[in-house]
Structure 1
């Protein structure tokens, strides 16, 4: 069994690649970017992974359902209502279903599993916790939800801090703990370490399980040289006092991961990574198309068997 911690659009490629080379995959998803909008509970990272595994993902945008329309948000604009978050019409059905089931007393885990099955996702998907955790970005303009910072503000404001509201009270899902204990390998996807993986590491019970499993945990760097592969990781890492480099990623994961996979061009940083008590491994970590996804997945799956 292989488990992967995933969050953001940087994860879905590797998740999809792993699902193409192994049938025994469980995905633990970030919940820190979940948000209440229009009375609905929206879970962007969970949905991106679900749509990716169900062959529904809009590849050009990296989120939402391919071929979706946006009549709902267009109508909200005409009515003078906030419409900065792009909920597609088919995507909207997912959030209506989720919210209805939550209000009937179902847990987020139960709803996520049911949605994945209904939509045809090929692997098991679990939220990191059934409790609400909110990633809050501190800026000179004040605190704002991650989605407001990233979507509404276009990640333009300076970042002075990142916090995970509710994480100190949250408990990992029971199935999350079970799969971490049973997995041959736990992979941390090449996602934004602070905003996509950080909310999960901030959940005490989940972090403790990863610390215990450290030698079975391998992280994939989302940074090549001094640049993120995508997204605003540099802003978040600097705000967290981290160097924007594979070594900075290693310092963030040093307590929970036994090894870090870096780009071949970053091999000169191997010594610095090893100073954090981690093994450094190198691979082609850029995933271009299905072949690129499967190539990195086979490499990581091979490490699980070794």
Structure 2
């Protein structure tokens, strides 16, 4: 467990972000971690409100995630999905039988007037999670991609078309009016805040939606703690997902340096992999080179310790 005190906030997308969030969760004292999660991926499917990144955070911190697959619940079954297909329904988005319970309950809570934040708080408590998992906003923001196959909702691009369309630009519909929840603003405004960590999630699909909502950048800039970003790009390749592909399609060099420059107006420090150590001198902010590949639980904990130690040096 980390010996320094003070709460920590992490901005996270899906699987990569949840890995570092888990490392932080395991080394910090109980109730010290707040995870602000992207909701730009959320959508309605078969009448249910689906929140993939929030659910990844819930399952990961509750130790219920499918560790081999990287998403969804462990020990899952797929009878409902199979039956849907037999009846002529769409089965391109994989909803497991156990996973459905969470979607049903969340949709019910929302229909009864609960905010998304209230709903996730209730679910996290029932799953025994001792950290705050916070949707970036209680208002709907939808990530959409302009591509060579037209403008596509995120899940259509990411899951149904498996990231194959060429991306021309990204849009965060609703971000111009959406605001961070009071809980998110309170977490960022804590006077004894130790660090704000931007997890190694896709900068354009997972973190940019969080940063795009009204007041979020200002809240980060007002915060008393250093902001540290961790690169999701190692040696010019993405650890997971289409980050490098999208960067190339947007005529951006797929490198840790490009990611650092994307965040440069918000961050105080940047963490990149030892593979990219030669880029340290070119970073726009203070840099740390370490092994950022998280293939095991000890990897997650070690990287979390090193990121927090780096933040402490920058205070």
The answer to whether the 8 Å contact 1:214/1:257 transfers is: no
Pick from 21, 24, 28 the counterpart of residue 15 of structure 1. 21
Q: How many angstroms does 1:28 deviate by?
A: 0.5
Aligned-partner SS, 2:287: strand
Residue 176 of structure 2 contacts residue 214 of structure 2 at CA under 8 Å; is this kept in 1?
yes
Which secondary structure does the structure 1 equivalent of 2:270 belong to? Answer: strand
Cα displacement (A) at 1:267: 1.6
Partner of 1:147: 155
Report the secondary structure of 2:69's partner residue: coil
Q: 1:255 aligns with which of 259, 265, 268?
A: 265
Q: Deviations over 1:236-257 (max 9, x none)?
A: 3334453211111011101111
CA distance 1:55–1:173, change in 2 (3 Å): same
1:86 has 2:97 as partner: no
Which residue does the alignment assign to 1:227?
237
Preserved CA contact (<8 Å) 1:137 1:162:
yes
C-alpha contact 2:268 2:286 (8 A) present in aligned 1: yes
Q: Are 1:5 and 2:7 matched, yes or no?
A: no
Structure 2: runs of 5 or more not aligned: 1-6
- How many aligned positions are there? 303
Q: Is structure 2 residue 246 aligned with structure 1 residue 236? A: yes
Inter-partner Cα distance in structure 1 for 2:60 and 2:110: 23
Cα distance, 1:214 vs. partner? 8.3
The 2-side partners of 1:187 and 1:36 are apart by: 30
| Equivalent residues in 2 for 1:1-306, closer than 5 Å | 1-23=7-29, 24-182=32-190, 183-213=193-223, 216-274=226-284, 278-306=285-313
Q: Contact (CA 8 Å) 1:180, 1:209: kept in 2 or not?
A: yes
Aligned mates of 2:312, 2:64 — CA distance in 1: 31
Post-superposition offset of 1:288? 1.8
Please say which of residues 295-304 and 243-252 is displaced more in the overlay: 295-304
Tell me if the contact between 2:227 and 2:311 (Cα under 8 Å) persists in the aligned partners: no
Paired residues of 1:54 and 1:122 also in contact (CA < 8 A): no
Once residues 215 and 117 of structure 1 are traced to their aligned partners in structure 2, the CA distance between those partners, rounded to angstroms, is 27
Distance 1:290 1:225 in 2: 23
What SS does the corresponding residue of 2:11 show, helix, strand or coil?
strand
Mapped to 2, the partners of 1:230 and 1:88 lie a distance apart of 22
Distance of 1:3 and 1:135 partners within structure 2: 23
For residues 213-239 of structure 1, the C-alpha deviation after alignment (integer angstroms, 9 at most, x for no partner) is: 386100000011211111100233334
Cα distance in 2 for residues equivalent to 1:119 and 1:157 = 37
Q: Whole-Å Cα distance in 1 between the matches of residues 224 and 204 of structure 2?
A: 19
- Relative to the length of structure 2, the TM-score reads 0.93
| Aligned 8 A contact 1:84 1:152 in 2 | yes
Task: Name whichever of 114-123 and 238-247 sits farther off.
Answer: 238-247
Counterpart CA distance in 2 for 1:272 and 1:44 is 35
